[in-house]
Structures are given as C-alpha cells and as structure tokens.
Amino acid sequence: MALTLYGIPNCDTVKKAKKWLEAHQQDYQFHDFRKDGLTEQQVTTWCEALGWENVLNKRSTSWRNLTDEQKADLDQAKAVALMTELPTLVRRPVLDRDNTFKAGFKDADYQAFFAE
C-alpha cells in the first residue's frame, strides 16, 4: 500500500494527521507542497475525486489575500489553476492511499478511511 500525505510541515492539522498515522503504525511519505510543489495534474486528480469545493480551502489566509477578481466566477478549472499556483490554497492535509483521497483531518474520518 502506497501512502502519501501532502501538506506543509508547520500546519497544525498536518501535524495532527502525522501523529495519527504514526500512532496507527501507518508508513507514509510526506510531500511538502511548498518545497516539492504541486502539479496541475495532481490538483486536478484530487478535485475530480473529492470535488474542487472540498479541495479549495476558503478559510485560509491565502484565500483571504486573493483579489475579488481572482475569487469571481470560480469553477474547477480556475480553482485548479489557483491551487497549482498557490499550493497553500489546498485544504490540508491531502492523504493519498493508492489513489483514494481524503482532504482535511478528523480522527473519525481517518478511522473510517483506513477501515475501508
């Protein structure tokens, strides 16, 4: 089983997800958005699997810093372009288990995800 956790290391939610994975003996690779970057294909795949509204983090500082023009007429293509350009717009963390994805972290959601 291939397991990759995408995020940024100083994000509290990413830290919680890492602790959860370690506590449940899950081997994973960590992919740092900022350092390792994101491709348009990765973001598109997540949006197709989860819905772009679930991948785009509208509560982030990065979102609040966007212009009204950037936020207007949002659709998947525009959201993917924004998230590829500014990876901190992606809801963190994104977990990839053999091309099955989960965005965000909640203990109960991870329990259910790994029970599948």
Task: Tell me whether residue 11 is one of the annotated catalytic residues.
Answer: yes
- Annotated catalytic residue, options 4, 6, 7, 11: 11
66-89 pLDDT tens trace: 999 999 999 999 999 999 999 999
For residue 4, the one-letter residue type is T
- Give residue limits of the domains in the chain: 3-115
Average per-residue pLDDT for the chain: 95
How far is it, in rounded angstroms, from Cα 107 to Cα 111?
6
At the fourth CATH level, which superfamily is domain 3-115? Answer: Glutaredoxin (3.40.30.10)
Q: How confident is the model at residue 10 (pLDDT cuts 50, 70, 90)?
A: very high
Output phi, psi for 56, to 5 deg. Answer: -80, 125
